[in-house]
């Protein structure tokens, strides 16, 4: 799934759209990427002399990818959008820097009605950089 298809699902736009491509999507899990470039606006103010992607944005990127996954279960319905509802057990294991590609994997742990509990992680290469349990739902626009 390329960026134009992602933009049809997620309400985010630059600079807050943090999923560049969906690599694989199945019934219960999804894989996608975020290319981290030096031109990202957050690098101006977040440790400007030591460029590190803010952890909260790594979590947001995983939640957006999870939103794409959860939306797939409701795509026949009009006027709905995925929303980020909660986060638990977030851990950051390594810094993410310009030039890195975040490979994110999100899977549904449990789902009830329009709310999904997700397990998410992000890697750079083979090294895990972050993990969290996320809560994503579907809301009417």
Name the token pair of 71: 């939306």
As a whole number of angstroms, the distance between CA 100 and CA 79 comes to: 35
Backbone torsions φ then ψ of 83, nearest 5 degrees: -135, 145
> Which residue intervals of 1-141 are DSSP H helices?
3-9, 55-72
Catalytic residue among 12, 31, 46, 73: 46
- Is 105 marked active-site? no
d(CA 92, CA 128): 9
Residues with catalytic annotation? 46
């Amino acid at each position: 799934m390329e960026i134009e298809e992602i933009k049809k699902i997620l309400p985010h736009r630059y600079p807050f759209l943090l999923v560049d491509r969906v690599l694989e999507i199945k019934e219960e899990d999804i894989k996608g990427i975020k290319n981290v470039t030096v031109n990202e606006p957050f690098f101006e103010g977040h440790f400007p002399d030591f460029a590190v992607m803010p952890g909260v944005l790594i979590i947001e990127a995983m939640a957006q990818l999870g939103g794409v996954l959860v939306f797939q279960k409701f795509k026949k319905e009009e006027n709905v959008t995925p929303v980020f509802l909660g986060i638990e057990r977030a851990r950051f294991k390594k810094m993410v820097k310009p030039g890195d590609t975040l490979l994110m994997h999100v899977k549904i742990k449990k789902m009830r009605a329009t709310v999904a509990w997700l397990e998410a992680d992000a890697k750079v290469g083979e090294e895990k950089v972050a993990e969290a349990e996320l809560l994503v739902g579907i809301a009417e626009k």
